[in-house]
Structure 1
């Protein structure tokens, strides 16, 4: 099992709207690719210096090939919409983990 994790720091002034958009639009779009079996969406409970609120979106894939397929063929297009909607309102980083 491979975990594709995206940690997002979102500005507080758009947080509630962003969470709803993630649940209703963004996450379903990622799942529609068929490359992930399930997802989890978490809010981090600690505060960061500089403001913003942190969230983790975790997508679970059967193999690294599925994650690479997503990154190579879907991520750019899906993230373009994300960036257009919330430009300058977020920072994010991605990580890939393997279950041991």
Structure 2
């Protein structure tokens, strides 16, 4: 299984609106692609750097294999990312990572 992880640091003034929009619009749009089997949303409680500004969320999406992920990147990701950029622009900073799940309990 593959975990596609999107970590987003958002301006504190927009946290509530952002989280509602992500839950009501963006995450459902990602799931409608049919690529991912499930997702998780988490919020960073305590940053490593106490001077870090903003509120950090991670959006974790799970798919069967890298072929599924590559299909998502090619067919769906550009438009979905454009939606986020259009809505929040410079109010967020994000980075993405991909992990292979080796074991689950």
Name the TM-score, length of structure 2 as normaliser: 0.92
- Partner in structure 2 of residue 77 of structure 1: 79
Matches within 5 A, 1:1-100: 1-47=1-47, 49-100=51-102
**Rg (Cα) greater in structure:** 2
Moved over 3 A (4+): none
Number of aligned residues: 100
RMSD: 0.9
Name the TM-score, length of structure 1 as normaliser: 0.96
Structure 2 residues not aligned, in runs of 5+ = none
Structure 1 residues not aligned, in runs of 5+ = none
SS in 2 for 1:88: helix
Distance in structure 1 (CA, Å) of the matches to 2:7 and 2:58: 4
Could you tell me how far 1:51 is from its partner in structure 2? Answer: 1.1
